[in-house]
Structure 1
Amino acid sequence: MAAAATGAGLLGAAGRPVALITGGSSGIGRAMALSLAGKGFDLALVSRGAERLEAARTEISAAVPQARIAVRTADVGDADQAREAVAGITAELGVPRWAVMNAGVARPGRFLEQPLDDHLMQMRTNYLGALHVAHALAPAMADAGGGRMIFVSSGAAFFGIYGYGAYAPSKFAMRGLAEVLRVELADRDISVTLAYPPDTDTPQLVAENETKPAATKAITAGGGLWPAERVAEKIILAAEKGRFTVAPGLQMQLLAHGHSLLSPALRLWQARVARSHRD
């Protein structure tokens, strides 16, 4: 089962491939962890919340007792913490065969009202968090014979969305990094998958909706609410097949394949929606 999921490649110390997942204690990350454990992976879960990490480890261990699960409490937005987490995981389990850059936060708001700290925090977590882990892991992964990197982005990386002045740039940046790594790392047998999840039933979405302006809610509506398990399944399947882009749902697929052509119309539509919700 493990070989089918990973192809020929490095196995961890226990003879199972290792998957590192940031933001692995809840939401999409937790769902991916549970699925990958069932496919034969040992897990390395990284998150800022120790309590949630332990809860995730307990849940996955009960479901897949044979999986070894290492947890690291770290803020991957801090380069030193990210590097130390990767080094500790590698020492404990071996070089990860899969790395899922999933840690993220969204705090929408109008640009004229949103403090600069919100912009810096989202760029630090969403983009720099992914960069720090990828940069720390890529040399060891290349030396070990390759692997897979998965970047969990957002539909906000396709075009500017009202209310996402702090969030969208961090996801645009992640998209740019993934585009570059796709071509640069290919000759080292490291494949890259860039995921654009639809609205997903996670604690993060609940928190996001607390600060989302009314116009933003109207603009982002229509894609439905997906369970984290279904989104995780779509992302893993795409990565197993070596696909670069995975965009579950009709709305995300249209944006993934036609955002450049659709952007002028989307800008006009957003302007109308914003006017209708003007305070």
Structure 2
Amino acid sequence: MPNAIVTGATHGIGKAIAEKLLANGYNVAICARTTADVESCKVKWQSEYAGANILAETVDLSDKQQVHSFAASVIAAFNEIDLLVNNAGLFYTGLIKDEPCGQLERMMGVNLYSAYYLSRAVIPVMTGEDNAHIVNICSVAGLEPHLNSGSYSITKYAMMGLSENLRLELKDSGIKVTTICPGYTYSRSWEGTGVDTSRLIKAEDVAEMVWTTINLSANTIAETIVMRPAKGNL
């Protein structure tokens, strides 16, 4: 069975991706910062996907040592990794000029550095012979400035840079790097906001996009994929 890592996988896009992979015969390692959510997903999935090896850990991805510890646990359990999905993200609103000191650093820790450190740890045990893949879940905020979420946008621009440089470095190794940039996507955070959630991208659609791109032939790579609500931005 192929082996995958999905970060931030207890809700939203990450959970949808993990479930898509499990349903298609993957062993999956997940992490998130809330123990109750991690345990809930693990119990549910062990019941639904009895043949899969599921590793689930509570990890603060802004802490480099915890990222390294998680990577070591996954490698010890799986030996080789076929797919890494860097999905975890932290989002704060606000104008750059007004936001609290340290807000950018907190988002950078999760949105960029976790992907950087986890990718570095996992790449040595990925093999291009089996069409190995790194998928970075970015955002349209990494392609264009966003009012009232400027620092978040900065972290996503940086994630785009990480993806493009890894793609360049790894292209001859057979490891593909794809960046998926969703627009407004449904998650728990939209509940009670008054937004018409029927207009939002479904997390399951992002998971389908991941599945499609990792199943392209070895000759083809989807480099950057942009997804937006069909009826336009809110």
* Structure 1 position 142, deviation (Å): 4.6
Query: Would you say the 8 A contact 2:199–2:229 is kept in 1?
Result: no
Normalising to structure 2: TM-score of the pair? 0.88
Could you tell me how far apart the structure 2 residues matched to 1:79 and 1:146 are? 28
2:48 matched residue in structure 1: 63
1:76, 1:132 within 8 Å by CA — same for their partners in 2?
no
Counterpart Cα distance in 2 of 1:186 and 1:88: 27
1:248 paired with 2:227, answer yes
Q: 2:66 aligns with which of 71, 81, 99?
A: 81
1:189 aligned residue: 174
SS class of match (1:167): helix
| Structure-2 change in CA distance of 1:105 and 1:204 (3 Å) | farther
Q: 1:203 to 1:132 in 2, by over 3 A?
A: farther
| Contact 2:183 2:229 (C-alpha < 8 Å) held by counterparts | no
Shift of 1:146: 6.1
Q: Structure 1 residues 94 and 116 mapped into 2: Cα distance closer, same or farther (>3 Å)?
A: same
Secondary structure at the aligned position of 2:136 is classed as strand
Q: What's the CA shift for 1:48?
A: 1.1
Task: Supply the distance in 2 between the matched residues of 1:41 and 1:107 (Cα, whole angstroms).
Answer: 33
Say whether 1:238 aligns with 2:197.
Answer: no
Distance 1:229 1:59 in 2: 18
- Aligned residue for 1:171, secondary structure, equals helix
Partner AA of 1:63 in structure 2: E
- How many Å apart are 1:125 and its aligned residue? 0.8
Contact kept, 8 Å, 1:46 with 1:74, in 2: the verdict is yes
Query: What is the CA distance between 1:172 and its match in structure 2?
Result: 0.4
What residue in structure 2 maps to residue 22 of structure 1? 7
Distance (whole Å) between structure 2 residues aligned to residue 236 and residue 201 of structure 1? 19
Question: In the alignment, is the contact (CA less than 8 A) between 2:85 and 2:135 conserved in 1?
Answer: yes
Aligned-partner SS, 1:201: coil
Q: Deviations over 1:253-274 (max 9, x none)?
A: x9xxxxxxxxxxxxxxxxxxxx
Q: CA deviation at 1:205?
A: 5.1
Residue 79 of structure 2 contacts residue 125 of structure 2 at CA under 8 Å; is this kept in 1?
A: no
2:17 corresponds to which residue?
32
Structure 2 residue runs without a partner (length 5+): none
TM-score (norm 1): 0.75
Q: Distance in 2 between matches of 1:249 and 1:48?
A: 28
How far is 1:251 from its partner? 6.7
Instruction: Give the Cα–Cα distance (whole angstroms) in 1 for the partners of residues 163 and 122 of structure 2.
Output: 14
Partner of 2:201: 226
Q: Which residue of the other structure, out of 148, 160, 164, is the alignment partner of 1:163?
A: 148
Shift of 1:152: 0.4
Question: For residue 49 of structure 1, what is the aligned residue in structure 2?
Answer: 34
Contact 2:9 2:30 in 1 (8 A): yes
CA separation in 1, counterparts of 2:230 and 2:119? 29
Provide the C-alpha distance between the structure 2 equivalents of 1:31 and 1:138, rounded to a whole number of angstroms. Answer: 24
Larger Rg: 1
Structure 1, unaligned runs of 5 or more: 1-15, 210-216, 255-279
Q: Distance in 2 between matches of 1:65 and 1:170?
A: 38
> Equivalent of 1:126, from 104, 111, 114?
111
CA deviation vs aligned residue, 1:135-183 (integer Å, no higher than 9, x gap)? 1111222598661100000010111111122101110000001001111
Identity of aligned pairs, percent?
27
CA contact (8 A) 1:235 1:246 kept: no
The answer to whether the Cα contact below 8 Å between 2:6 and 2:30 also exists between their aligned partners in 1 is yes
- Alpha-carbon distance in 1 for matches of 2:112, 2:224: 18
Instruction: Tell me if structure 2 keeps the 8 A contact 1:238–1:246.
Output: no
Quote the offset at 1:204 in angstroms.
Answer: 4.8
User: Deviations for 1:5-53, whole angstroms, at most 9, x for unmatched residues?
Assistant: xxxxxxxxxxx11110010111111110111011110010011111111
Out of 100, 103, 126, which is 2:88 matched to?
103
Greater helix share, structure number: 1
SS in 1 for 2:97: coil
Q: Report the 3-state secondary structure (helix = DSSP H, G, I; strand = E; otherwise coil) of the residue aligned with 1:30.
A: helix
Quote the offset at 1:206 in angstroms.
Answer: 5.5
Structure 2 counterpart SS, 1:25:
coil
